[in-house]
Amino acid sequence: MKGERKSLLQRFLVWREKNIKEKRFILILSFLVGIFTALAALILKFLIHWIQNFLTENFNTTEANYLYLVYPVVGIFLTGLFVRHIVKDDISHGVTRILYAISRRQGRIKRHNTWSSIIASSITIGFGGSVGAEAPIVLTGSAIGSNLGSLFKMEHRTLMLLIGCGAAGAVAGIFKAPIAGLVFTLEVLMIDLTMSSLLPLLISAVTAATLSYVVTGQEAMFRFHLDQPFELNRIPYVIMLGIFCGLVSLYFTRAMNSVEGLFGRLRTPYKKLAVGGAMLSILIFLFPPLYGEGYETIELLLNGTTNAEWDTVMNNSLFYGHGNLLLVYLVLIILFKVFASSATNGGGGCGGIFAPSLYLGCIAGFVFSHFSNEFEVTTQLTEKNFALMGMAGVMSGVMHAPLTGVFLIAELTGGYDLFLPLMIVSVSSYLTIIVFEPHSIYSMRLAKKGELLTHHKDKAVLTLMKVENVVEKNFICVHPEMDLGEMVRAISQSKRNIFPVTDQEGKLLGIVQLDDIRNIMFRQELYHRFTVNKFMTSAPGRLYDTDSMEQVMQTFDDTKAWNLPVVDQEGKYLGFVSKSKIFNAYREVLVHFSDE
SS3 for 159-172 is HHHHHHHHHHHHHH
Show which of 165, 192, 216 is a domain's final residue: 216
Question: Of the candidates 182, 216, 250, which is a domain's last residue?
Answer: 216
Same domain, 150 and 188: yes
Helices (H) then strands (E): counts for the chain: 25, 5
Q: What does the pLDDT look like over 515-538, one tens digit per residue?
A: 878 778 778 777 788 888 888 888
Q: Based on the fold, state whether residues 434 and 544 are members of the same structural domain.
A: no
Residue 167's CATH number: 1.10.3080.10
Among the three residues 167, 182, 216, which one is the final residue of a domain in this structure?
Answer: 216
Spatial separation of the C-alpha atoms in residues 263 and 79, rounded to whole Å:
17
Parent domain of 96? 22-65+74-216
Quick one: 180 exposed, middle or buried, by C-beta within 10 A (0-12, 13-18, 19+)? buried
How much is the average pLDDT of 342-358?
Answer: 88
Residue 490: pLDDT above 80? yes
Average pLDDT over every residue of 116-138:
89
User: What is the helix (H) or strand (E) element at residue 110, kind and residue range?
Assistant: none
Same domain flag for 176 and 197: yes
Q: Give the whole-angstrom CA distance, residue 90 versus residue 84.
A: 8
Q: Report how far residue 89's alpha carbon sits from residue 390's, in angstroms, rounded to the nearest whole number.
A: 36
Residue-wise pLDDT for 443-461, tens only, equals 765 555 444 444 444 455 4
Q: How far apart are CA 405 and CA 418, in angstroms?
A: 13
**Rounded percentage of the chain residues whose pLDDT exceeds 90:** 27
Q: Are residues 265 and 393 in the same domain?
A: yes
Residue 39 has pLDDT above 90, yes or no: yes
Q: The CATH number of the domain where 477 resides is what?
A: 3.10.580.10
Q: Does residue 154 share a domain with residue 143?
A: yes
Write the pLDDT tens digit of every residue in 576-594: 988 777 777 666 655 554 4
Do residue 420 and residue 521 come from a single domain? no
On whether both 451 and 373 belong to a single domain, the answer is yes
DSSP H helical ranges for 69-155: 71-82, 94-104, 116-126, 134-151
Q: How confident is the model at residue 129 (pLDDT cuts 50, 70, 90)?
A: confident
Burial (CB count within 10 angstroms: exposed 0-12, middle 13-18, buried 19+), residue 350? buried
H/E element holding 474?
Answer: none
Buried b (16+ CB within 10 A) or exposed e, 541-562: ebbeeebbbbbbbebbeeeebe
What span, in angstroms and rounded, lies between the C-alpha atoms of 231 and 200? 39
Are residues 497 and 450 part of one domain?
no
Please tell me whether residues 500 and 515 are part of one structural domain: yes
How many C-beta atoms surround the C-beta of residue 299 within 10 A?
A: 15
pLDDT band at 210 (very low <50, low <70, confident <90, very high): very high
Residue 331 is assigned to a structural domain of this protein:
yes
| Average pLDDT in the chain | 83
